[in-house]
Amino acid sequence: MPHGLHFLHPLYLLALLPLWALALWLARRRARDGAWLRHIDAELLARLRLRGGGGRSPWPLVVALWTLSAVALAGPSWQRQVTPAYRLPAAWVIALQLSPSMEARDIVPSRIARARFAIDNLLSAAHDARVGLVAFAGDAYTVAPLTEDVDTVRNLSRSLSPDLMPEHGARLAPALEKAARLLDAWKGHDRQIVVLMDGVTDPARAMMAAERLHHAGIDVNVVGVGTTRGAPAPNGDGGFEHGPDGKIIMTRLRPAVLRRIATAGGGQFVTVNQLPLLIGELHAAGLGSLGRAQLAPHVRLASWLNDGVWLLPLILLLGALAARRGWT
């Protein structure tokens, strides 16, 4: 489709400045030839000038070659090529634990705040993957189904907090089953679940669910939010949990349990501080399915064509003439 003429690499046009400076210098030198005649014989001066045996000046060819080469390098363009776009067949479901323990402050500013930051980083790294969001505590709920609208998922994740959940707990198995149902609607090969959590109250069921998902082609990755030294466990009412002896209960991250769940699910376990490592693994899994990239039906890519290539035959012709004896 035709468009106005412009240059893809206009800085190459700066190469014309030395040419113009040379032309100005030659013009001024020609004007001073009369002064040289007072010191050099006219016949000798003619032989000292840059001329060939045929008496032709090389400068018109030099100027033409220089100008055409600079214009060709600048990439003149007046038309665009429209091509179809492809996307990697990837789908990620993020599952966020919203138990009261996620309000603990053993990491700054709190576990839930760091989990939200981690979700934001995951969504920024998703690129063209479809994403979904599940929240869980005593039960699991779909916050966002699989969608290409990453910004909407990001806005929804920022409003999630433990006080929204009707039932306390940390049951992971229902969350994995809910995420699996979302992914069942996606026929791509790269399907990932990323769980952000600080603990689990149904480790055996969670491990069995993760193993079933892995056999079904869905990888379960776990991001541990918190520290092993722990912090007082919030009770969801502004205070802390107390044991039978009246002492405050500490909530601690138990990496060994979470790592076993991730291993059963064929995925990775990382702490929230190691999230970039997990993102790298997710991208590597997506690149592994590059050969199965799918056509994006509603997306087209338009690129400007470099029409400077049409100047190459003329540049080659002038270069051949410049190299021919008697022409310069």
Provide the 3-class DSSP secondary structure of residue 39.
coil
User: Which pLDDT does position 81 carry in this prediction?
Assistant: 65
- Choice between 95 and 319, residue whose per-residue pLDDT is larger: 95
In this structure, the strands spanning 190-197 and 250-251 are unpaired
Cα–Cα distance, 253 to 163 (Å, whole number)? 21
| Domains with residue ranges and CATH for the chain | 2-82+304-323 (no CATH), 89-292 (3.40.50.410)
**For the residues of 215-259, what is the DSSP string, one character each?**
HTTEEEEEEE-S-SS-EEPB-SSSSB-B-TTSPBPEE---HHHHH
Owner of token pair 């470099």: 306
Query: Quick one: what percent of the chain has pLDDT higher than 90?
Result: 49
Q: Taking a C-beta distance cutoff of 8 angstroms, is the pair 249, 232 a contact?
A: yes
User: Which pLDDT does position 311 carry in this prediction?
Assistant: 83
Burial of 67 (0-12, 13-18, 19+ CB in 10 A): middle
| Average pLDDT of the segment spanning 239-251 | 88
Kindly indicate the confidence band of residue 1, based on its pLDDT and cuts at 50, 70 and 90: very low
Q: Which residues, at least 6 apart from 91, have a Cβ–Cβ distance to it below 8 Å? A: 129, 130, 131, 132, 146, 183, 186, 188, 190, 191, 192
Pick from 213, 149, 154: which is nearest to 178 by CA? 213
User: Which pLDDT does position 14 carry in this prediction?
Assistant: 87
- Choice between 224 and 80, residue whose per-residue pLDDT is larger: 224
Structure tokens at 16: 């014309």
User: Which pLDDT does position 71 carry in this prediction?
Assistant: 85
11-21 confidence digits (pLDDT tens): 888 888 887 78
Query: Quick one: what percent of the chain has pLDDT higher than 70?
Result: 78
161-214 confidence digits (pLDDT tens): 999 999 999 999 999 999 999 999 877 778 999 999 999 999 999 999 999 999
User: Which pLDDT does position 36 carry in this prediction?
Assistant: 56
Q: Which letter does DSSP use for residue 106 in this model?
A: S
User: Which pLDDT does position 209 carry in this prediction?
Assistant: 97
Averaged confidence pLDDT in the chain: 83
Is the pLDDT assigned to residue 144 strictly greater than 90? yes
280-306 confidence digits (pLDDT tens): 988 887 654 444 445 445 555 557 777
Provide the 3-class DSSP secondary structure of residue 136.
strand
| Average pLDDT of the segment spanning 120-145 | 94
User: Which pLDDT does position 53 carry in this prediction?
Assistant: 45
User: Which pLDDT does position 306 carry in this prediction?
Assistant: 78
CA 86, 88, 90: angle at the middle one, nearest 5? 145
User: Which pLDDT does position 86 carry in this prediction?
Assistant: 46
User: Which pLDDT does position 161 carry in this prediction?
Assistant: 94
